[in-house]
Chains A and B, each alone.
Chain A
């Protein structure tokens, strides 16, 4: 993606990939049960990206997405941002609601209350899966909030997180979840955004000097 990534040594990359692997495995199991269909997991990709470059990695600042924000507290202070493309959200809602399906009649892409809770629950599962993986690997004790949803431009949803991280941290960890149903990638990206102290704490708990 850019020069910043070159500074991350491969050992760190391996550990992050292992977190992604475990997290994505948990998520696949949970989603398969929830959606009642096979979910196939391929090797997830993971990247450390400077905060300012995150919108570009997600398709540009003006792209409309469904975003779930989960606040992490406890041993670390961080956010999970779960980003779904509109079609991915459509697909998940269709699968979860079955016959009721997604109401696509409106001109404007919006979510009914029921659909919103479907998306929130999916974000919750994905966040919880990755959080469990992080806690297992680091031994840190972290709690997660319920997800807050927003359907808006990538740049706009990122700004809240940037404001928090703008105080200290400068790096985001992007897990590209690779969960498929019938060759269709159904899950979006999950981004871990720790503040600077928390980033150090996570890396230290994994056995690296921050």
Chain B
């Protein structure tokens, strides 16, 4: 990964402007959601582990761990940096089912639920999801280029994909 790329690890989100890119390595059932404003040329990447913060009570949680609260916060953070919600677009990748776990396993469908939560949160916030590469049973490394709005997806033994 180039020096101009910022890693976004699990339960993290980062905002950047060109020429900086943002990347997450080895996404499995996690979901990587990139939101950007192509006019203001600013974008952010969220690397969420779980679907919904509401499913957890008690101690204070890191909001970036969850797709719904993470997306909400990322949008607000982008707005604070001058982006406009009306211009924002989203792309996402991840949400794979890495192991064919038995039906009913508590984590068997975590990838799918992450995707669903991200989709519904983006819809609620009125941000169009313009491209996605989700599901399947393979891990993904993603690189988001804030300048072009392109998300590059690498999987083992597969051709590189750009969405």
Do these two chains interact?
Answer: yes
Interface residues of A (CB under 8 A from B): 52, 55, 60-62, 64, 69, 71, 108-110, 145, 148-164, 166-167
Chain B 121-163 residues near chain A, CB threshold 8 A:
137-141, 156-157
List of 8 A-B pairs having minimum Cβ-Cβ separation, nearest first: A155-B26, A156-B139, A159-B28, A156-B28, A61-B26, A148-B99, A153-B26, A61-B25
22 of the cross-chain contacts (CB-CB < 8 Å) are: A60-B25, A62-B26, A62-B141, A69-B99, A69-B101, A152-B28, A153-B26, A153-B141, A155-B25, A156-B27, A156-B96, A156-B140, A157-B28, A157-B99, A159-B29, A159-B49, A160-B110, A161-B107, A162-B49, A163-B30, A166-B49, A167-B56
| Residues of chain A with a CB closer than 8 A to B28's CB | 152-153, 155-160
Closest to B139 in A: A156
Closest to B138 in A: A152
Classify the secondary structure of B's interface with A: loop
In Å, the complex CA distance between A197 and B157 comes to 39
- Minimal beta-carbon separation of B13 from chain A (angstroms): 15
- Minimal beta-carbon separation of B66 from chain A (angstroms): 9
> Is residue B100 within 8 Å, beta carbon to beta carbon, of the partner chain?
yes
- Minimal beta-carbon separation of A84 from chain B (angstroms): 15
**A155 and B101 contact, CB distance less than 8 A:** no
In Å, the complex CA distance between A174 and B117 comes to 32
Q: Quick one: which of B10, B49, B96, B99 has the most chain A CB within 10 A?
A: B99
Contact with A along B4-43 (1 / 0, CB 8 A): 0000011100000000000001111110000000000000
Given A52-B10, A71-B105, A166-B49, also A155-B98 (CB < 8 A): no
Given A64-B156, A157-B28, A159-B49, also A152-B107 (CB < 8 A): no
